Amino acid sequence: MRSVFVTGAAGGFGSAIATALAADGMTIFGCDMQAGEGIHAMDVTDEGQVTTAFDQAEALNGPISVLVTCAGIMPSGTEPARISNMTVEEWDSVFAVNSRGTFLCLREFLRRREQAPVPGATAVLMSSAAAQLGGYRGSASYVASKAALLGLTKIAAREAASHGVTVNCVAAGPVRTQMLEAATTPESVAALSSRIPLGKIGTTDDIAAAVRYLVSPGARWVTGTTLDVNGGYRMQ
């Protein structure tokens, strides 16, 4: 049975992905800022907490073979700050979770799998179509922090390949989550939907389905790639 480590597992993408992979027979260790039913408390920006959580996961479920990094934030409010008005605090806080947090978890995973390889080891990082398009309403801090993961995916895939580990990325388009709702209005969501060729906002299950593929045996020869899941949004 494959052991899975999911960050941001309390809601949104993380919860849907954890549920989907559990349905596939995998053992899930889910982490989030606050502990809850089946969720372990971990701050992805804290190096010590990340190491401790990985220790706990492997003590419970054995060597982790799948890492999915879903922990992420975006600035609150429906009108993101322009670069010229953005504070250093906002920039740093978003990068701390979205970029540093992903790096710390990926680094911990790769260290363990380099020292003790397991068959089918794979990591999936969560980026965004906003990072590819430069965003339309997204904050520069969010767009840039998610863009960093596109490059991280490629270099990690190159370094991990000799250890039999694959690393891929999902660039999620607009998906109905609490984070999206907090950053939009009904009017802006309607306008956004009109720019998506398939004509609708996605669901967390759409993202989970993509991750299910990337961690499956069928994707064993796929690495260093970014899978667009966006209803055709990026074709513009």
Q: How far apart are CA 227 and CA 124, in angstroms?
A: 10
Q: Nearest 10 degrees: CA dihedral of 49, 1, 109, 13?
A: -70
Q: How far apart are CA 152 and CA 31, in angstroms?
A: 21
Q: How far apart are CA 82 and CA 138, in angstroms?
A: 10
Cβ 102 vs Cβ 134: under 8 Å: no
Consecutive H or E run containing 5:
strand 3-7
Q: Which of 170, 169, 131, 128 is nearest to 147 (CA)?
A: 131
* 213 belongs to the catalytic site: no
Annotated catalytic residue, options 136, 142, 213, 233: 142
Give the residue numbers marked as catalytic. Answer: 142
